[in-house]
Amino acid sequence: MFGLDDKIAALGTGEAFVLVALIAVLLGLRHATDPDHLTAVTTLIAGNGGHDHKSARSLGLVWGLGHATTLFAFGLPIVLAKGYLPEAVQQAAETAVGVLIVALAIRVLIRWHQGAFRDGPGHRHSHGRTPLQAYGIGLVHGMGGSAGVGVLLLAAIPDRAEAVVALALFAAFTAVSMALASSTFGYALTRPPVLRRFASVAPALGALSFAFGVWYSLGALNAVPYVF
């Protein structure tokens, strides 16, 4: 995001593998701060069927594992053979991420309309997502941006074996970072004062997330400027 990954990855250029591994971990931990990830995690947790920071953490971790799976699968040919995905595939993957964000935003708006955020943390108007559903969402989301991640690792690590290990570390710690982000947001929603106030901002969150998802999809299709 905004060149930060390039600066972090450059620290490991030509250095010992321990430093390279550390850089991969840092890249993974930072990954959840990308705008599309922040939007996805807030709408994913807010649109879930309960307000429990432990279940939110588990949901985020499973989502992160799905993200890590496709990130590693899409990044592997890049670090091994500079085998970039065809542009059409990359474009379709990024578009799918935007559509996913739109769907999560709609779920938040539906739950707000049902009164889920007005009735307190113990009330449930809908069933929460299953781990399999969260994993599937992560699989789709992990497709977006995987090529860019592989390029960073490839540029920083000349040895292919080290690059694969670093990619695996990066993928694993993206899951950790997403679990931390979802746990933090889930914990905030367990506080009754926060939950009561959240009821008033949930429509704005849903609307902004919806607009961001539409813009993200259009940006992937080169219909609007795409800055991330």
Q: Per residue in 14-50, pLDDT tens?
A: 456 778 788 888 888 887 777 777 787 778 777 765 5
In a domain, 105, yes or no: yes
Owning domain of residue 169: 4-220
Looking at residue 153, its pLDDT comes to 62
> How many domains does the chain divide into?
1
Looking at residue 208, its pLDDT comes to 92
Which tokens is 46 given?
A: 């807010």
Whether the CB-CB separation of 165 and 18 falls below 8 Å is answered with no
Rounded distance between C-alpha atoms, residue 95 and residue 30, angstroms: 23
Rounded to 5 degrees, φ, ψ at 227 are -105, -10
Whether the CB-CB separation of 50 and 111 falls below 8 Å is answered with no
85 Cβ contact partners less than 8 Å away, ≥ 6 residues apart: 74, 77, 78, 93, 146, 147
In a domain, 227, yes or no: no
Looking at residue 69, its pLDDT comes to 92
Rounded distance between C-alpha atoms, residue 58 and residue 12, angstroms: 32
In a domain, 75, yes or no: yes
* pLDDT tens string 137-150: 888 888 776 556 65
Looking at residue 207, its pLDDT comes to 92
In a domain, 226, yes or no: no
Confidence of residue 82 (pLDDT cuts 50, 70, 90): low
Classify the phi-psi angles of 3: left when phi > 0, otherwise alpha if psi is within -120 to 50, otherwise beta. left
Q: CA torsion sign, 131 to 137 to 141 to 146?
A: positive
In a domain, 108, yes or no: yes
In a domain, 67, yes or no: yes
In a domain, 131, yes or no: yes
In a domain, 20, yes or no: yes
